[in-house]
């Protein structure tokens, strides 16, 4: 069986990130233009390199500490007041 490395779920109107726990080899996750309000359900995606969450309803940056391979994080068009919580993601080179 081939491992899934990229998932594109743009415009699926997700309100919650769920059902991705078994995708431990996932490297890219595109979740833009949904209705996601909270960062959760990503803890097992430790090989994730790109996470796109633009145009959602997220207000707090949290639960990303296990994503130590994360290189690119796209967060524009959300409701963040400040971006804190990436201290453990030392390999993240791009936050947009």
Which CATH number does the domain housing residue 9 bear? 3.80.10.10
Query: How many domains does the chain fold into?
Result: 1
Which pLDDT value is given to residue 84? 67
For residues 76-96, give the mean pLDDT. 70
Q: Which domain holds residue 18?
A: 1-96
Q: How many CB atoms lie within 10 A of CB 56?
A: 23
Average pLDDT over residues 1-13: 83
Q: Are 63 and 42 in contact (CB under 8 A)?
A: yes
Helix (H) or strand (E) holding 79: none
pLDDT at position 3 is: 76
Token couple for 72? 């690119």
Task: Give the mean pLDDT of 14-42.
Answer: 95
């Amino acid at each position: 069986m081939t491992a899934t490395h990229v998932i594109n779920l743009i415009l699926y109107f997700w309100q919650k990130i769920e059902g991705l726990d078994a995708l431990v080899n996932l490297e890219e996750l595109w979740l833009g233009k949904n209705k996601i309000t909270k960062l959760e359900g990503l803890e097992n995606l430790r090989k994730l390199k790109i996470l796109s969450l633009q145009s959602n309803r997220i207000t707090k940056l949290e639960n990303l500490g296990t994503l130590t391979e994360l290189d690119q994080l796209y967060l524009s068009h959300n409701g963040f007041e400040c971006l804190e919580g990436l201290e453990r993601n030392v390999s993240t080179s791009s936050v947009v």
